[in-house]
């Protein structure tokens, strides 16, 4: 796991360094200054958790299943910390209707193979203002109250994501 005190964007860092980062590499920070979600929406974290996981050599036909695998892996990891979240399509995590996080998968495709960066942000410490979901509806932000556990949460989520994707790749036949 690679930790940065501050980073503009964990996803951007991974995409820029995709050639040297290994499959399953995790980059995380609690201070992301230029983060983004789907459609370029701003996703900043000043004290919350921002994580990206590098996935190498994913067959392009498997990309359509990737986001759901990642969402379920993060949900499962959070449950192990006693935090039950709902998945609100297409890529948000909510608790009692309040947005507590989101997930963004970005692919770099070469022929029939893709390297993928899976980024996710979780409100581990506080609930930011002006949170919107994919449909543009404003959701009240919520908080998971996992302060002090960010590194363990990042590791748990990332491990389950990489494991789920490895199973997906094996099932290619």
Q: Can you tell me the distance from the alpha carbon of 142 to that of 101, in angstroms, rounded to the nearest whole number?
A: 9
* Structural domain boundaries in the chain: 2-166
* pLDDT computed for residue 139 by the predictor: 58
Per-residue pLDDT tens over the stretch 139-149: 567 888 888 88
Per-residue pLDDT tens over the stretch 34-88: 988 887 778 778 889 999 999 999 999 999 999 999 999 999 999 988 899 999 9
Distance, first Cα to last Cα, the chain: 31
| Over residues 118-123, mean pLDDT | 93
| Chain-centre distance for alpha carbon 26 | 10
pLDDT confidence bin for 131, thresholds 50/70/90: low
| Over residues 113-117, mean pLDDT | 96
Q: Can you tell me the distance from the alpha carbon of 41 to that of 44, in angstroms, rounded to the nearest whole number?
A: 10
Look at the alpha carbons of 12, 16, 21, 23 in this order and tell me if their dihedral is positive or negative: positive
| Over residues 13-18, mean pLDDT | 98
Was domain 2-166 assigned CATH 3.30.930.10? yes
Contact of 122 with 144, CB cutoff 8 Å: yes
Per-residue pLDDT tens over the stretch 17-36: 999 999 999 999 999 999 88
- Residue 79 main-chain phi, psi, to 5 deg: -60, -35
């Amino acid at each position: 796991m690679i930790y940065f005190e501050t980073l503009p964007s964990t996803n951007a860092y991974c995409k820029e360094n995709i050639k040297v980062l290994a499959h399953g590499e995790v980059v995380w920070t609690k201070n992301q200054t230029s983060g983004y979600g789907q459609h370029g929406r701003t996703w900043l974290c000043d004290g919350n958790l921002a994580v990206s996981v590098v996935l190498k050599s994913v067959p392009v036909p498997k990309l359509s299943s990737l986001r759901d695998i990642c969402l379920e892996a993060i949900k499962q990891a959070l449950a192990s910390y006693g935090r039950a979240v709902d998945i609100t399509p297409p890529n948000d995590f909510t608790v009692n209707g309040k947005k507590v996080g989101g997930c963004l998968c970005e692919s770099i495709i070469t022929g029939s193979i893709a390297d993928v960066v899976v980024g996710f942000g979780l409100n581990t410490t506080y609930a930011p203002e002006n949170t919107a979901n994919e449909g543009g509806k404003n959701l009240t932000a919520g908080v998971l109250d996992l302060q002090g556990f960010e590194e363990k949460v990042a590791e748990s989520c990332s491990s389950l994501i990489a494991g789920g994707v490895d199973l997906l790749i094996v099932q290619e036949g």
